[in-house]
Each structure stands twice: as structure tokens, then as C-alpha cells.
Amino acid sequence: MEEKIVRIVNAMAEFLSIEQLKKLQEVIVQELSENEPQRENISNDEYITRFLNAKQMEGCSDRTIQYYRVTVEHFLKDISNPVRKISTEQIRDYLVRYQKINNCSKVTIDNVRRNISSFFSWLEEEDYILKSPMRRIHKIKTKTVVKETISDEAIEKLRDHCTELRDLAIIDLLYSTGIRVGELVNLDISDLDLEQRECIVFGKGDKERKVYFDAKAKIHLQRYLDSRSDNNPALFVTLDAPFNRLKISGVEIRIRELGRSLGLNKIHPHKFRRTMATRAIDKGMPIEQVQKILGHSQIDTTMQYAIVNQTNVKNSHQKYIA
């Protein structure tokens, strides 16, 4: 088979350019490979299952895997073609229609694009397809929006408004460590070292790292643990029996309700993470250290949190320029 392809390409060498010859070879290989029975027998559903299994092995969270599943399943159901016959033009058309039908933002549609791209990249890496049709569909440009952080005054209001020791401990731990809400609910009491004011968390991909909390968080964590009468090893549990481990949704609902009751704008767990990172960078912590605390594998991700305080910009201008 390979010898035949080489002979065909060589025979056309004097009539076509290098780029055209490459394209010819690509088309021949693709057309011939589509006739391979072992590939034809794999359904779209089976490809999705294998892709999600691969993502699970990579350490993706259940939420991320579910997001992949919903996105890719909806896409393949809409296109209806076998994955090996889907073209770049079909994908572009799908993304345009998806945005119009759902009236979604550029950020949302780019997330859909990224998930579909991840699926096709995996197919290419596993040699199920010769070349991903997503290669020519680039990242969708979006406006860089400076996201809000939680002010010191708002933090104090949240603390004062807490009626449960558990909620107070959650707020202070999120605020001083910058951990993800998923990492928070997975913490066990044994992961905590109150004396050293540190704890071990398992981030994305089950990567272990150490994070640190302040004296205020230590005091509130100790009071909360002293008030507990259950035997659950989880650090945070429900307020009522049987005192099960608190879930992500439980933390999110509690924090949002607390914020709304005070008239504070969009208070949610991730905002504490952004606030901690911004505060650390604003006070001079090296970006590499912030990256380590947050558990980011790429420093570009950490840079998204590097919101420079406008007051500091003004002070610096007066110091160095004025």
C-alpha cells in the first residue's frame, strides 16, 4: 500500500508543487484508510466513550468529563456524520449556528470550540484520523474583561454575617489559601496541620500541593472542629445529621446566599481564589510563587489573575514620572 502511494506521488511530482504533492498524499491516505474495516466498525458513541476514558485517565475531574461529554455528544448528534468524515467547514457551520441559536457569548462558544478541538486532537493522536479538521479553526478572540475581586470591607461583612462556625471557617480558608472549591470539599481533617497553618490539597490531575492559611483561618477552623460531634473524616460536613461530606453545590449555594443577603455583587467561591491571587501579586509576591500556591501548570493561567490595582499604578506614576 505504501509503495503504491509513493509511486503515485512520484509520478505526479513533475506536475505539482511540493504543497500540492503533500495534499495529494494526504487525500490518498485518508481515502484508503476510510476503507479499513476495523475503523469503520467504531461508532461515534464508542469514540466518545474512549475519549472520555482517556480524559479520566489523565486525571480530569468528573465535572470536566461531563462538560466534554455534553459538548461532544451534542456536536456529533447535530452533524450526524461519522467522525472520520467530518470536515472543517461543517464544524465552522456548527459553531456559527450554535452561537446564534443559544445567543451565547464569545467566551462560551470558544469553550465549545476548545472541547471539540480536544476530541479531534485525541482522535489524531490515537491514529483514528489522519488530520484533525479543527487545525484551521483558531481560538475565538474575546474581550479581556477585568474581573472583580472581593474588597476587604466585603470580606469583613461576610464574616460578621456568618451564623455558623462552619461557614466562617470556609470563608477564611478560601480567602487565605485561594484553593478551588472542589479542593475544599475533598479536604479531610487529617490533611490539616493547624500548628503549622498549612494543609495538603489534591488539585487537577490529582496533583498534590501544600497551601497555607492565616491565623484568623486557624482560629475559626479550630472552633468549628471543636464544635463537631460527628465521626466523619471530612473537614467540612453538612449542618444536619447524618453529617455527610459537604458537596461543591452546597458551598456554592451557601456562599451565594450569604452574598445576596448583604447586597454584595456576585459572591461565589472562585471569587475568593481570584481575590487571594490578585492580593498576593499586588503586594509583591513573585508570580512563580503564586502559580505554585494556586496549582497552575502554566504560568499564563496565573497571569490572568494578575490584576494590577489602579491606585498602585497612580502612586507609581507619581513616584517615577511626576
What are the residues facing 222 on neighbouring strands?
none
Describe the strand order of the beta sheet including 192-193 as a list of residue ranges: 192-193, 198-202, 208-212
Only one residue has cell 489534591, namely: 202
Read off φ and ψ for residue 262, nearest 5 degrees. -100, 0
Whether 270 is a known active-site residue: answer yes
pTM (whole model) above 0.75: no
Note the pLDDT of residue 62: 84
What's the pLDDT at 318? 73
296 labelled catalytic: yes
Candidate list 204, 245, 247, 256, residue with the active-site label: 204
Marked catalytic residue, from 92, 228, 270, 292: 270
Residue 92: active-site member: no
Q: Is-catalytic flag, 161?
A: no
Indicate the angle between helix axes 152-161 and 248-261, nearest 10 degrees. 100
Q: Of 55, 157, 180, 271, which residue is the catalytic one?
A: 180
Of 47, 98, 224, 305, the catalytic one is 305
269: CB partners within 8 A, 6+ apart:
174, 180, 181, 184, 251, 252, 255
Give start-end residues of each CATH 1.10.150 domain in the chain: 20-125
HEC sequence for 203-252? CHHHCEEEEECCHHHHHHHHHHHHHCCCCCCECCECCCCCCCECCHHHHH
Tell me which amino acid residue 14 is. E
First to last CA, the chain: 74
Q: What pLDDT score was predicted for residue 37?
A: 45
How far is it, in rounded angstroms, from Cα 40 to Cα 219?
A: 62
CATH of 152-317, one of 1.10.3470.10, 1.10.443.10, 3.20.20.70, 2.70.98.60: 1.10.443.10
CATH 1.10.443.10 placement within the chain: 152-317
Cβ 52 vs Cβ 7: under 8 Å: no
- Give dist(CA 174, CA 238) in Å, integer: 18
Q: Give the whole-angstrom CA distance, residue 54 versus residue 97.
A: 29
Residuewise pLDDT in 10s, the chain (322 residues): 566 777 787 788 778 887 887 788 788 877 776 555 444 578 999 999 999 999 988 888 888 899 999 999 999 999 988 998 899 999 999 999 999 999 988 889 999 999 999 999 999 998 888 789 999 898 888 766 667 889 999 999 999 999 999 999 999 999 999 999 999 999 999 999 999 999 999 887 778 899 999 999 999 999 999 999 999 999 999 999 999 999 999 999 999 999 999 999 889 999 999 999 988 888 888 889 999 999 888 888 888 766 555 556 666 667 777 5
Select which of 157, 273, 274, 279 is catalytic: 273
Angle between helices 152-161 and 165-177 in degrees, nearest 10: 160
Q: Is 77 a catalytic residue?
A: no
The CATH architecture that domain 20-125 belongs to is Orthogonal Bundle (1.10)
pLDDT at residue number 184: 96
